Structures are given as structure tokens and as C-alpha cells.
Amino acid sequence: MTLRLNTDFAAGLFGLLFAAILWFPRESMGRLSIIFPRAILVITVALSLALIVKAFTKPAAREVTIEGNPRRLLMMIAVLFAWWYAIDLLGFLLATAIVFFGLTWYLANVEGAVSGRRLVQWVPIVAVLIGVFYLAFTEVLSVRLPTGIWS
């Protein structure tokens, strides 16, 4: 998918917004703490303004191409954040089992409809994959993974 977007303008605008977020809370800090971030903030604003000026005089590109399916792209982002939320809520093991299986099914649909038999065949594969990493982290590396509501 190709979007009409002046990338110089977008980059400049992002730089200004990012600088603005960090600019306002600086008042409560001492000189030694703010001297460097303030200098970088000023440079960031200058670079952003230069990009915005360039966007109107000599723009680099007026369109961006998103390779692949935008719906799958947004779905993947949503799944990653949902995975994070679910781990806190349900614990690592249960959340990962649900999200991993669901994501595998969703992505496999790209190549065509997934039959019930294939889904059943995946269960041991997914279980082994999750189990190996779960045991590696909890037993070998002694990492206490979140247990969510089961704690």
C-alpha cells in the first residue's frame, strides 16, 4: 500500500512533537541535570525545523510504501500489545499458549484456510515450543515469570 506523505514533513513534525513532550517538564531540574538535554532539545528542534523547511523546498519523498497487508500489520501490533497485557493478567504460560496458537492460526490463514486437523496437529508443536522456552527460563535461568491471577 502506498500512502501520500511528505516524509521530510512527517519526520520534522515528529521531531517537534518529541521535543515538546520533553521540553515542558524540565523546569524543576537543576542546571547539571538539564544542561545536556536542553542542548540536545535545541538541536532537535533546529533539525526538525530544517526538515519542515526542506519539506516545502526540496522534499525527499512524497509517498511511503507499506509492504504487505496493512490489516495484518495493525493486527500484529495489536496482538503484541495484547500479549503483553494478557501476560500480566493471565500469567506467562496461559497467555502465551492462547496468543501463540491464535497468532499461528491467523498467520497461517495467509496461505489458505486452516483445517481442524491441522490445528490439532499444531497443538503438540506449540506446546513443545512454549514448554522448552518456559522451562529454559524458569529452571535454567531462574527467571520468575509472571503468574497473573494464578499467583
Partner 1 sequence: MDMLLEALFSILTLEGLVTILCGVTAGLFIGALPGLTATMALAVLLPFTFTMSPLQGLMALGAVYMGAIYGGAFTAILINTPGTPSSIATTFDGYPMARQGRAYEALAAATIASVVGGIVGVAFLLLLAPPLARLAVVFGPAEMFWVALLGLTLVASLSSGSLLKGLLGGCIGMLLSTIGVSPIGGETRFIFGIPALQGGIALIVALIGLFVVPELISMAAQGRGALPESGKLQGGAGSAIGRMGRHIFGKPINLIRSCIIGQIIAIIPGAGGNVTSLVAYNEARRFSRDPASFGKGNVDGVIASESSNNVMVAGSMVPLLTLGIPGAPPDAIILGVLLMHGLRPGLDLFTETGVLTNGFILSMGFAAMFLLPVGLLGGRLIHRVVVKTPFYFLLPSIAMVTILGTYALRNSMIDVFIMLLLGTAGYFLRLIGIQAAPIVLGMILGVIAEKGYVQTMLVAVVDPIPWLRLVANPLSIVLACLVVLSVATTLLPGWLERSGRMAKVDSDEEKSP
Pick the binder of partner 1 from 83, 91, 94, 98 (CB under 8 A): 83
Max CA-CA distance within the chain? 66
The nearest distance, CB 98 to partner 1, in angstroms, is 11
Rounded to 5°, the CA angle 11-16-19 comes to 120
What part of residues 30-69 is at the interface with partner 1 (CB under 8 A)? 30-37, 39-41, 43-44, 47-48, 50-51, 54, 60-61, 64, 66-69
Pick the binder of partner 1 from 17, 77, 123, 127 (CB under 8 A): 77
Pick the binder of partner 1 from 57, 81, 112, 113 (CB under 8 A): 81
Cβ atoms of residues 70 and 1 within 8 Å? yes
Q: Round to whole Å and give the CA distance between 138 and 142.
A: 5
* C-alpha separations of 126 from 99, 104, 123, 147 in Å: 11, 9, 5, 19
Q: Round to whole Å and give the CA distance between 36 and 26.
A: 11
What part of residues 86-115 is at the interface with partner 1 (CB under 8 A)? 87-88, 96, 99-100, 103-105, 107-108, 110-111
- Is residue 125 involved in binding partner 1 (CB under 8 A)? yes
The nearest distance, CB 141 to partner 1, in angstroms, is 6
